[in-house]
Chain A
Amino acid sequence: MEPKSLTIDAARSAVQQRTASAISLTESFYARIQNDDPKIGAYLTLCKERALAKAAEIDTLAEKGERLPLLGGVPVAIKDVMVTKGVRTTAGSKILGNYIPPYDCTAVARLEAAGAIVLGKLNCDEFAMGSSNENSAWKPVHNPRDLSRVPGGSSGGAAAAVAADMAVAALGSDTGGSIRQPASFCGVVGLMPTYGRVSRYGLIAFASSLDHIGPLTKTVRDAATVLGVIAGRDPMDSTSAEVPVPDYVTELEKPVHGLKIGVAKEYFGEGLDTEVRKSVEAAIQKLADLGCEIVEVSLPHTKYAIPTYYIVATAEASANLARFDGVRYGFRAPEARTLSAMYRCTRDLGFGAEVKRRIMLGTYALSAGYYDAYYLKAQRVRTLLTRDFEEAFKKVDAIVTPTSPTPAFKLGEKVDDPLAMYLADIYTVTADLAGIPGISVPCGETREKLPIGLQILGKHFDEATILRVAHAYEQAA
């Protein structure tokens, strides 16, 4: 069976009906990775032994004629910021270059418990900090749709692996847009669930109050399936919510007719590429054609989102990354002779430029005398941004926006201009700050055949509605 365009249901039923074995399917994915990944760079580590052992387990079930679990025999891959027991996990950083975790991330464990076969670990920006995957300490990722372009970031490896059929689905993480923006750049579906919907246990923290785990898939249905598997309260994560998890796949089939869809002018301003605007406007028209009511809404504090985000996220990151000190695990500068030299050299050599920049920014924002002006004020603005959404969602069921102001840009184009790079997340950071769910679904291409993404934002814990809208659009488009 060929990995090309394989969805979760197709893979699972093939294994269930024995038209392909899980082992042969796994092997065919590894063959494809061996063949195609050298020019794409999506994978950092393969875990064949673990994958084949799991595949054998699934094959045994299938041979016995037992009903396979939801992801039985489905080859998936994991962004390298989620820890995997016994499998090297680097977070895209040299400082964890030799790090083998002793436990599994809850989301990964849940995937495997549902029968998924984990092929390996996916490239990403170092500690998920970046919008182009060029901040990976190991290698850049090339966009499968145009190898001269970036796949987006920070889950660039995840988006590229799914787009290039090197995994049926992938888990990514989203702190400021890191699932949705690369999904839009690579032409796949990327879902960021509500904060608290999916356990963060085992996700190497970038910014704890903003980090989300979510799926990147080829179809909206697949995203719904994966979310159903990984969602739900985990006693190991105090911030994971005790909110019932609906059957997302069943919910997909509900009609969208009569849903109120909000459009906010703040997401169609300066800096929005005209081709992207056209595609998104066409998508909005399509939703209207499907019977949705299009309603104009206002999200007045949107313009403060980027600075707010870069204070909150970097402040939390400055503490989250303090544990990488060379004392207990990971890289330690070999030549340091004193404790403070060990700290300095380890962190200087172990972290890349962008990570250091953000640690510095965050440390500054939390410093005595600056805390009120920066961190505290940013938290207040964050509350205002959240209220914007709460107000808007009194009037509408979902809000649609472009996922990113531009299609995928060229490798190297923005590496020397961090501020320009930060603006690549301008339409995605708001949902992270507000804790609401968002999905990016492909909505056409530019003349250069570059994918464009439509972002659909929803109410807290209402992934079902945005999945339903995304699914209806995907089917109609």
Chain B
Amino acid sequence: MVTAADSSVAAHARYEPVIGLEVHVQLLTVTKIFCSCSTRFGDPPNTNVCPVCLGLPGALPVLNRKAVEFAVLAAMALNCRVNETSIFARKNYFYPDLPKGYQISQYDRPLAEHGWIDIDSEGGTKKIGITRLHLEEDAGKSLHEGFPDAVEKTAIDLNRSGVPLIEIVSEPDIASPGEAYEYLTRLKEIILYTGVSDCNMEEGSLRCDANVSVRPHGQKEFGTKTEVKNVNSFRFIREALAYEIERQIELIDSGGKVTQETRLYNANEGKTYGMRSKEQAHDYRYFPEPDLLPLVVDEKWSSQIRKLLPELPEARRERMVVDYGITEKDAQVLTSSKALADQFEEAAKSAKNPKRVANLVQSELIGRLKAKGLEIEQSPISMKGVAQSSDLVDVGAISGKMLKDLYDLCFQRGKDFPVVYDEEGRPQQSSDTSALEKIIDELIAANPRQVEQYRAGKKTVAGFFVGQVMKASKGQANPQVVNELVAKKLG
């Protein structure tokens, strides 16, 4: 009997998805791309506006150099070729939150082209091409709630109008929802490293549209694609793509045809819905923006910008594996954000034994975080704390057991290591031999049978005494010292 699931698997084996992603990233400039208004998020509506970003009659755009630098930085980090001359163009469409009736963007001569990023896929590392990266301005926001007559009116907030964006368009190299997820994760990581955006999806500073089609394995031509919009997390993009691929395959298998259209993803239902075709019959009538000169990023400017390019995550991971003797996987965790990696490296370098810091993160920190379901950024113990604890172990001030206990307390109390260490009265592992000797003498007196066994040659019994001493000292005795003393007294 052939089940529905079987036939689905069979269908998937016959078709391959083709996915291309368009990602919009807001740049973290202080002012907007064509005027000097603030880009601050969350201010009262229509307070960060001026004639230029309101599109008032007679106003003209003037390009923000910082936005260009940020875009070029991102382009370089994504291995793009930055075009010496690029051209701004007007993208014409009517929408209430688009004040000029056109968006200033770039069209046939974008800022940068021919980039790529590496992602992990089932078959190992895979290169995903980046077709182009261009600069453009953001539109405002239409508000449908949060004001008195929202039932019958739409309000417009133009604070966001003119905030600089880069649009990053991938090649249709992505072959599965999982790869799309991986591409977005890597892309975000790289952008975060450059510091040109905070990539905050909730605040809309990273937005993604996906083009997806399916074709029978082995076919060269692309199938008809749909564009999936309105997806606000990487997880939802993966789900939306999975749904859309399934939908297209079923449609084709049942003799239907995929219609080229824009589809909106409904995250609650996990489904995509086609927009009415009327809303998408767009001819943007691009033409060169006559109010702006061609953008020239010459060799000199470009090399100045290149100097600002930080070490990127991939390279950093490789170096950290060598420098700290950690695994690829731990390097992955430690480089998940630039801030974290910076903290780690700073702490590790200041510690007496950098490798121990790395080992502690790996063996003591990550497991505890996992148990608590915390991300490394949420760790109660900072990298500085890890470094301090590492130094204490290194000089023999605390034992490994004590460190474990202190870490447990840090997680219980939600406090950093130095705080808990102080709260606990800066405990030291004991090496006061007179106190230890007294304990050992008492133990020898109380356990004559074990003493006899030892003296008869069963040297392992020493362990029993050492254990008892450690217990009596509440783990604070220096095990090495205890070992020596026990051997001496029994001998």
Contacts and interface: CB of A to CB of B under 8 A. Distances in A.
B156 A205 contact: no
B172 interface: no
Interface in A310-343: 315-316, 318-319, 321-323, 325, 327-329, 339, 343
- Say whether chain B's binding surface is mostly helix, strand, loop, or mixed: loop
A362 to B, nearest CB: 9
B99 A366 contact: no
Contacts of A321: 101
Contacts of B62: 235-238
A412 to B, nearest CB: 30
Given A102-B51, A103-B51, A371-B287, A91 B101 contact: no
A138 interface: no
Contacts of B102: 319, 322
A322 B57 CA distance: 11
A322 B156 contact: no
A316 B101 contact: no
Question: Of residues B94, B102, B156, B293, which shows the largest number of chain A Cβ atoms within 10 Å of its Cβ?
Answer: B94
A204 B287 contact: no
A253 to B, nearest CB: 36
Nearest to B289: A208
Contacts of B293: 238-239
Nearest to B92: A319
Interface string B58-70: 1111110000000
A201 B59 contact: yes
Contact of B285 (A101, A236, A366): A366
Contacts of B51: 101-103
A101 to B, nearest CB: 7
B56 A322 contact: no
A319 B287 contact: yes
B178 interface: no
Interface string A188-223: 000000000000111111011100000000000000
A184 interface: no
Given A103-B51, A239-B60, A343-B94, 7 more contacts: A96-B57, A101-B56, A204-B57, A205-B291, A323-B57, A366-B287, A368-B283
A367 B284 CA distance: 8
A207 B288 CA distance: 13
26 contacts: A89-B57, A101-B51, A103-B56, A202-B58, A204-B57, A204-B58, A236-B62, A237-B62, A238-B62, A239-B290, A239-B291, A316-B290, A318-B92, A319-B90, A319-B102, A319-B287, A322-B92, A322-B101, A323-B55, A323-B57, A328-B55, A328-B156, A343-B94, A363-B285, A367-B283, A368-B283
A383 to B, nearest CB: 13
A209 B94 CA distance: 22
A82 interface: yes
Contacts of A203: 58
B292 interface: yes
A329 B56 contact: yes
Interface residues of A, number: 43
A368 B92 CA distance: 12
B229 interface: no
Contacts of A103: 51, 56
Interface in B453-480: none
- A-B pairs, top 4 by smallest CB distance, nearest first, are A322-B101, A366-B285, A208-B290, A209-B290
A375 interface: yes
A99 interface: yes
Interface residues of B, number: 28
Contacts of A368: 283, 285
Contacts of A105: 58
Contacts of A170: none
Interface of A: 82-83, 89, 91, 96, 99, 101-103, 105, 200-205, 207-209, 235-239, 315-316, 318-319, 321-323, 325, 327-329, 339, 343, 363, 366-368, 371, 375
Contacts of B56: 83, 101-103, 329
A309 B94 CA distance: 26
Interface string B27-56: 000000000000000000000000100111
Contacts of B291: 205, 208, 238-239
A375 B287 CA distance: 9
A99 B142 CA distance: 23
A83 B60 contact: no
B225 interface: no
A322 B63 CA distance: 21
A329 B57 CA distance: 10
- Say whether chain A's binding surface is mostly helix, strand, loop, or mixed: loop
A323 B92 CA distance: 10
Question: Of residues B55, B57, B60, B94, which shows the largest number of chain A Cβ atoms within 10 Å of its Cβ?
Answer: B57
Contact of A319 (B58, B101, B156, B292): B101
Nearest to A91: B57
Contacts of A375: 287
Given A322-B94, A343-B94, A366-B92, A328 B290 contact: no
Interface string B97-116: 00111100000000000000
A318 B290 CA distance: 13
A321 B51 CA distance: 16
Contact of A99 (B57, B63, B99, B290): B57
A328 B92 contact: no
Nearest to B285: A366
B96 A327 contact: yes
A339 B100 contact: no
A212 to B, nearest CB: 13
A328 B59 contact: no
Nearest to B97: A327
B491 to A, nearest CB: 90
A343 B101 CA distance: 11
Contacts of B156: 327-328
A91 B99 CA distance: 19
A175 to B, nearest CB: 12
A327 B155 CA distance: 10
A205 B289 CA distance: 13
A202 B291 CA distance: 13
Contacts of A325: 94, 96, 101
Nearest to B292: A238
Contact of A322 (B100, B283, B286): B100
Contacts of A101: 51, 56-58
A201 B283 CA distance: 29
Interface string B264-299: 000000000000000000010111001111000000
Nearest to B278: A340
B46 to A, nearest CB: 10
Contacts of A315: 287
B57 A83 contact: yes
A197 to B, nearest CB: 15
Contacts of A89: 57
A238 B96 contact: no
A105 B94 CA distance: 26
Interface string B135-157: 00000000000000000000010
Contacts of A209: 290
A281 to B, nearest CB: 37
B328 to A, nearest CB: 49
B289 to A, nearest CB: 8
A318 B285 CA distance: 10
Nearest to A342: B96
A369 to B, nearest CB: 9
Contacts of B59: 201-202
Given A319-B101, A323-B101, A328-B54, A237 B60 contact: yes
Contacts of A328: 54-55, 99, 156
B58 A238 contact: no
Interface in B162-186: none
A418 to B, nearest CB: 23
Nearest to A196: B293
B287 A200 contact: no
A239 B291 CA distance: 6
Contacts of A205: 57-58, 291
